[in-house]
Amino acid sequence: MPMIETINLTKKYGDLVALNNLNLSIDQGSCFGYIGPNGAGKTTTIKILATLLKPTWGEARIDGKVIGYQNPQIRPLIGYVPDFMGAYEDMVVSEYLEFFAACYNLHGKQRERVVGDVLNLTDLNYKANTEVTGLSRGMKQRLSIARVLLHDPKVLLLDEPASGLDPRARIEIRELLKELRRMGKTILISSHILHELSELCDTIGIIEQGELVFSGTVNEIMARAKIGQVVHIIVDSRVQEAAKLLAAVNGIISVDITQDNSVDQIEVTIDPASGLVISELPNRLIAQGFRLSSMHQEKVNLETAFMRLTKGLVS
């Protein structure tokens, strides 16, 4: 049974359709990256899953429990981090966490222990006596995550947690989320920083104009977008001849000659469905008397797949 599931989930505001028959299935312990342009329906989805919005029709479930009918049983299971943290900024960090721990009916020694644990986990223990208003944006995001961990939820719903953060803060948030995933949390995270999602998430969902365009692993998305494997090859001479030889190989989509630091290199794009093995390329060149200086495979690019699969439409 999936930990998060939506069945024909639809949300309308008058004539505006924010979500249109959305069907998602996220397994327990999975980290699901939710991507799409602004206004595509990501925040609407997350707010429904967080029991803050009612769907117009359709159904959403957390751990088998139906949102709207079993909200009191669902809310202890989830931790929701919005894209902007609303905080009691005149409190110090430890007071802020103790306040919310009390809201979760944690008291005495148990509350003290739990607050200490989440401060250590989020690396905020050295800021325990700092006023919230004095924290950087990145630290406020970590504090917001610390807050939702107090009751040890099974599911984390994160709406743009890295938005507006500097590179160091984004890396720190990413490493924290990796640790939470290792702890067995089911994570749904929306983000515009696509290359970080490809490192963090095992599955990705692309939404546009309220409809799910695609859901699957990064490799499945690449195949759907028909993005081939790109290999860069440098030979010591006769670059044009080498390129012509490679262009004649079955399974190669395109061959281009580019320059990197004033050095000519051959950029080869391979059809992933062709079955052509990358190691065959140097073998063919060497058999024809070419000498290779270097060869490397370009990393798969989630951003390119996103651009190919979407049209920039919003609800």
How far apart, in whole angstroms, are the C-alpha atoms of residue 270 and residue 253? 6
Strand partners, 187: 31, 156
Q: Indicate whether this model's pTM tops 0.85.
A: no
211: Cβ contacts below 8 Å, ≥ 6 apart:
20, 21, 22, 41
Q: Token pair for residue 145?
A: 């995550």
pLDDT in tens, the chain (315 residues): 899 999 999 999 999 999 999 999 999 999 999 988 888 899 999 999 999 999 999 999 999 999 999 999 999 999 999 987 766 778 999 999 999 999 999 999 999 999 999 999 999 999 999 999 889 888 999 999 999 999 999 999 999 888 778 888 888 888 999 999 999 999 999 987 677 777 789 899 989 889 998 888 877 777 676 666 788 999 999 999 999 999 999 989 889 998 877 889 998 988 877 788 888 899 999 999 999 999 988 765 677 777 777 765 455
What domains are there in the chain, each with its CATH number? 4-223 (3.40.50.300), 228-299 (3.30.70.100)
Residue 134 DSSP one-character state: G
Nearest to 7 by CA among 82, 68, 91: 68
Helix locations, 190-315, DSSP H: 194-200, 218-224, 239-247, 280-287, 302-309
Distance CA 158, CA 161 (A): 6
SS in 3 state form for 179-215?
HHHHCCCEEEEECCCHHHHHHHCCEEEEEECCEEEEE
Here the tokens at position 1 are 């049974």
